[in-house]
Structure formats: C-alpha cells, structure tokens
Amino acid sequence: MQEKLPRKDNLIFVLNSGSSSLKFGIYHRGASDEDALLTGSADGVGHSNGTLHVRSSGGKLLVRREGILESQNNALVTIAEEIRKHVHTAPVAVGHRVVHGGPHLLTHQLITPQVLDELRSATHFAPVHIPQALSLIASAQSLFPSAAQFACFDDVFHQTMPEVATHLPIPHRYFNAGVRRYGFHGLSYESLVHHFGAQLPERAIFAHLGNGASLCAIRDRKSIDTTMGLTPTGGIPMGTRSGDLDPGVFVYLLRTEQLGADGMEDLINHQSGLFGLSSGESDVKSLEARAHAKDPQASLALNVFVISVRKAIGAYVALLGGVDLLVFTGGIGEHSEYVRSAVTNGLEFLGLTGDKIKIVPAEEEQQIARHCRSMIGQPL
C-alpha cells in the first residue's frame, strides 16, 4: 500500500538534469524556507543499470525501481507517475535547472515562447546541455499543463563578475557576439551563500567538485571569478571533460587528425579529464582503489585533478588578498576525504587551517524552489 503524505498546497516541482541523471524534489512553503516533501533521482539514464528512488522528507525510501530508463524524458514520465502515487495536488510551478542561457537570458525567469526561442538560438553555446533542457521543458509542460514553468540558469550567479574576469583575450568583436566567461554551478554556489547567510565571511572560495567541477572566488557574497568559462568544459579537469587546454592542442588535432567540430566536442567532453588520463575511468572512488593498488594511470589522473584544484585555490587566495573560508561541495567535494586532504595538505601557510575549511552539501534543488517561490509572488 502506498504511503499517503500530508496534503500540501502551492507545491513546487524541481528538476535538475545531469548528463545521465535527473534529480528532483517536491517542495512546499515552510515556516522559514522551502521544505522538501519528496526528493529523489533517476540515475544511470540510458544505461542497463538505471535506478529510480524516491524518499520522503524524513529520508524514508518510498520507491526504488531498477531497469533501463531510456532517456531523460522517459525518466521524467516515470518520476511523475511515482509522484502522483504519493502527492495529492498538482504543483503550481515547475522549476528547471538550465545550465546555459546564452548571452541574453541573464536572470531566472518564467518560461515563455520567447524564452524558448532564445534558448534555441543559444544552442551553440552549450550543444550538450540546451537541447536536453528544451526537451525536458516540453515534457514537463505536457505532464503539468496547469503549472507555471520557470528556468533557473546556472550562470546567473556569476553576473557580478567584473569585466576583467568576463573578457577573454581575443578580439573584442567576439565578446559582443557572446563569447565570454559565463561560469557555471551558480545554483550550487547560491545555495552555499544562503546556507552561511550573515555568517559568510568577506573572502571565500567555493569548490564544487563532482563529475563536473569548478571553483569560485567570493567577495562580499558575490562571485568575482570562477574557473569555468564560455562553457562547462572549461576550467579544471573533470570526470570526462578536459578543462582548459593550450589552444595549440586544438590546432594540432585539427591538422593531424582532421577532427571536425563534433569530433572535437566529443573528445573534450566525453573522452578527456580523469577518464582520458586513466584510460577509461571517471569515478573517483574507483580511481582511489586503483591508485591504492599502485596503478600509475589512476594515480596520475588523481594527481592532475588535485593539483589543478590546489592551483585554482592559490590563484583565488591571491585574487582575494587572503581567504577566510574554503568550502567543498559536490559529490567528490563532500565524499572524498582523499581528494580534500590532498588538495589542502600544505596550504596552512595561506591561513587555511581546519577551522576555515568546511564541507557543505549542495542544495541546488532547494535553491531552485526558492527562486520559483519568489517568481510566483510568494516569497518567504
């Protein structure tokens, strides 16, 4: 028998799409914040070992299903079916995490036909992410036709960066065409700012380390620089993404292997990073086990990743003129003691002692719910 949850009104359904996962949450207006009624995720989308789980607000496992979820849209349909078994009312709003809004969508906003047109025209800025977002939005509109649909963009938080951080060292005409540093993981970083509230010190460095990874320099609660650039491929090496490369690498590959745009994109997004360095593994837990067993490629991959994070921290300490707080978040940042220790070992000379290093879970879904609540005119 299905567990019946208490009836709640003004529900907000949040969707957070990853490369092979779809996280979600149902939120209601609590006394002082957005409270989760249900949370969960579909993992391994498109793979034979796919799973779907749904948990109550208290963490009780309500649903666990295994099997192939062929696509994000298929996962969303399955999630909607399970939600309706436990929740009595339809959501008043659906909030979508959209990685990239392009050069013109610079605020979290209601999704209108004009917004969708603008997203389609910005596809070339994030060809891996925007088509998937558009497809999920269409599915959500069909599944929840009475709900207002909102786009919360991962780059909005970085709109406070100064010109020296947003301009790339190429001819100015390209900046006018939208080729600039945008930065991402903004919803995660916003959630950290909200978490610390008035206790957030003047100078902080946030490190969102997961399959996608970046760091952000924070001054007075605002982003002043971040490692990702025009796309989420830039910055430090990641699970399967290269991070920043000498531009000559691209010229070399174009000349010697005749890689076209699609081939280059596949190489830097899906075959590089930890995966490329280790010859086929992007999971940090697995790499740690291989490194412990004296696998040189696994050790190299982890060391390249760790050193890249350390270098970014050092650069941001210099930019900020010191640092009062370093926060780790994301799957690796939260759960890999090996990576955290390797990154911070020896940084005491920068003032980064234990009391200045924190681990805080990312709360992207809750942050999206906060934005949606505000946009429907029901701020807390």
| Catalytic center residues | 154
Assigned token pair, 6: 């208490």
Residue 60 near residue 89 (C-beta atoms within 8 A):
no
What's the burial of 133, exposed, middle or buried (CB within 10 Å: 0-12/13-18/19+)?
Answer: buried
Q: Can you tell me the distance from the alpha carbon of 83 to that of 94, in angstroms, rounded to the nearest whole number?
A: 13
Contacts of 310 (CB under 8 A, 6+ apart): 343, 347
Contacts of 124 (CB under 8 A, 6+ apart): none
Residue 213 phi/psi, 5-degree rounding, is: -140, 140
Q: Can you tell me the distance from the alpha carbon of 356 to that of 96, in angstroms, rounded to the nearest whole number?
A: 33
Q: How many residues does the chain have?
A: 380
Q: Can you tell me the distance from the alpha carbon of 45 to that of 130, in angstroms, rounded to the nearest whole number?
A: 17
Residue 225 near residue 216 (C-beta atoms within 8 A):
yes
Centroid of chain to Cα 205: 17
Work out whether the CA dihedral 299, 305, 308, 310 comes out positive or negative: negative
Across 120-202, the runs of DSSP E, i.e. the strands, are: 148-153
Q: Which amino acid is at 240?
A: T
Q: Can you tell me the distance from the alpha carbon of 107 to that of 94, in angstroms, rounded to the nearest whole number?
A: 16
Nearest CA-CA partner of 328 in 200, 211, 192? 192
DSSP strand pairing (109-110 vs 148-153): antiparallel
Assigned token pair, 109: 């906003």
